[in-house]
Amino acid sequence: MHLSEIPAELKCLNSLEQHLIARHIPFMKLLCLPRGRQRACHGPCVSVPINNTDVTNILPRNECDDKMIRVKLKRKLTYKGHYEYMFVHTDRVRNALRYLLANNKWYDDVTLNNEWVNTLNGTDHLDAEEKSTQQPADNSDNENTHEEQEEEDLTYIKDQGGLLSDTSLQPVDVGTEIIDQNFQDILNMAPGEGNSPVRLLYDKTNEAKCFPVLFPSGGPTFNEQRESRITLSRYLNTRIMNADGRFARNTDYIFYAQYMSEVQQVVSSVSMALGKGGGNPSLREASPQMLLDSDSIGKILRNNEGYKFLRGIRGTPPYWMSVQKDLFAMIRQLSIPTFFCKFQ
């Protein structure tokens, strides 16, 4: 369970840069709850493998070391929406990949192309020469253009934050608004496009490949060989509540751990739920033919056997049914409480 210290090459990465250097990207839909500034995960967590070589080839290379570009991470390039939208420091991504190539065991088959250099300075010089060769327009056209520019500037000032008004309405996400207004070039990337998702419970390397910043050396993860075997829920609780704090500060890992724990509980409970049968002999023997028959599925649902395996998952109807029974049993044993509090 001992982890190596996170190096400086990986500590400086933001969320999008961490996804670009990972071997697998855990795609999940995170929603903001109405109150409390908390987040929730809606739907499944899908882990898709990516090719890090394509990522480094797409990112532009420059002679200066302070270049930052806007990057939209997408599941597919044809989609209008994006999964994540941030600034990316290209040199930080390459330095992190160089460290992982030397120290992480899951990056042995990754190669970096260090020969190709995309110098934007040469492009700017050519653009300046092309502009100088163009013939100047008439003076009347220049005056009209100047007047139109002044009108556009006044219109822009009126639209910005109520500077000429009594009230000021600011956008919800000020950072995204500044990026959209002041920067034009956006690099769209979909490194996982065309790849098939991996099976979370059966791919033993998925955890280390999804979070290389948390596991700089590639381990140890849950599937490592240990003297004493531990359960998945105990392993995840130990990671999140560790004094190091790296896992508790990573939002993606928290929701990834929650989804892994819930899927493992569901998979382990399905076979037992089908084997019980609710006292009906026709439901005790589970087979593929039974699951393909609509009448058999109807019997399972009428006896509530199709839902009981979700009892351990918070928020499901069987879970609240068990909570309700526990509450009624407590009231019968301890009588009506003096104070009844509900926390959500």
Per-residue pLDDT at 120? 44
Q: Is position 215 within any domain?
A: no
- Whether residues 24 and 58 share a domain: the answer is yes
List of residues 6+ apart from 23 with CB closer than 8 A: 49, 50, 52, 106, 107, 209, 210, 212
- Whether residues 275 and 184 share a domain: the answer is no
Helix (H, G, I), strand (E, B), or coil: what is residue 28?
strand
Q: Which portions of the chain are predicted below pLDDT 50? A: 119-126, 128, 137-138, 154-167
Q: What angle do CA 160, 162, 163 make, to 5 degrees?
A: 85
Burial (CB count within 10 angstroms: exposed 0-12, middle 13-18, buried 19+), residue 269? middle
Total structural domains within the chain? 2
CA distance 164 to 324: 58
Instruction: Supply the range of the domain harboring residue 90.
Output: 1-134+171-199
- Chain position carrying tokens 């109405």: 34
Q: Using omega within 30 degrees of 0 as the cis cutoff, is the peptide bond preceding 220 cis?
A: yes
Per-residue pLDDT at 229? 86
Characterize 88-126 residue by residue with b for buried, 16 or more Cβ atoms within 10 angstroms of its Cβ, and e for exposed. Answer: bbbebbbbbbebbeebbebbeebeeeeeeeeeeeeeeee
Q: Is position 206 within any domain?
A: no
List of residues 6+ apart from 273 with CB closer than 8 A: 305, 306, 308, 309
Q: Is position 146 within any domain?
A: no
Helix (H, G, I), strand (E, B), or coil: what is residue 45?
strand
CA distance 311 to 323: 10
Give, in order, the Cα–Cα distances in Å from 26 to each of 84, 110, 179, 199, 259: 12, 20, 26, 11, 11
Q: For residues 13 and 6, is the Cβ–Cβ distance under 8 A?
A: no
Q: Is position 26 within any domain?
A: yes
Q: For residues 112 and 97, is the Cβ–Cβ distance under 8 A?
A: yes
Helices 232-240 and 251-276 meet at what angle, rounded to 10?
A: 160
Question: Which tokens belong to 33?
Answer: 């709850």
Per-residue pLDDT at 313? 81
Q: Is position 143 within any domain?
A: no
- Whether residues 234 and 343 share a domain: the answer is yes
Per-residue pLDDT at 137? 47
Q: Is position 328 within any domain?
A: yes
Instruction: Decide: pTM greater than 0.85.
Output: no
CA distance 263 to 313: 9
Q: Is position 216 within any domain?
A: no
